[in-house]
Structure 1
Amino acid sequence: SLPPPPQVPPDLTAEERLELESIRRRKQELLGEIQRLREELSEAMSEVEGLEANEGFGGFCWRI
């Protein structure tokens, strides 16, 4: 379920409300980007771990 809509202080001007909406929208974009980067980093770390695991076998063969 979605969280309740954020509260807007009643004493804001129309311009301040628009700015607040813009800030909140940008915050959500940044949070989404952070999540995407976390996922990319996790995938990259898995790839590195896989390469390191294979290096023990492949690296040895190359030295012969």
Structure 2
Amino acid sequence: MEKNRTSFYQPEVSLPMRRIVSDLTRTAVVTILAVVLQLVLFTYLNRGGWSIILAMIQKINF
């Protein structure tokens, strides 16, 4: 016996434009901050930062 299957149509829910813009803005800001942090860290480590970090690691290792 076959069961009667009823298909339901559920219309798409439109997102409010304010929320979409807010999410995109937040994503863009986080991305920019991550890139800036990477550039600062890269510059710091290439200008002698590794020696400070290695000295700290040697102190921790006794």
Q: Which has the larger radius of gyration?
A: 2
Task: Find the counterpart in structure 2 of residue 12 from structure 1.
Answer: 14
Tell me: CA distance 1:45–1:24, structure 2 relative to 1, closer, same or farther (3 Å).
Answer: same
How do 1:1-64 residues align onto structure 2 when only pairs under 5 Å count? 11-13=13-15, 16-48=16-48, 52=51
Distance in 2 between residues matched to 1:37 and 1:28, nearest whole Å = 14
Task: Find the counterpart in structure 2 of residue 61 from structure 1.
Answer: none
Gaps of 5+ in 2: 1-11, 52-62
**CA deviation digits over 1:33-58, x for unaligned, max 9?**
111000000001101268x4xxxxxx
Distance in 2 between residues matched to 1:49 and 1:11, nearest whole Å = 51
TM-score (normalised: structure 1): 0.51
Greater relative contact order (CA < 8 Å, ≥ 6 in sequence): 1
**RMSD, aligned α-carbons:** 2.1
Percent of residue pairs bearing the same amino acid type: 10
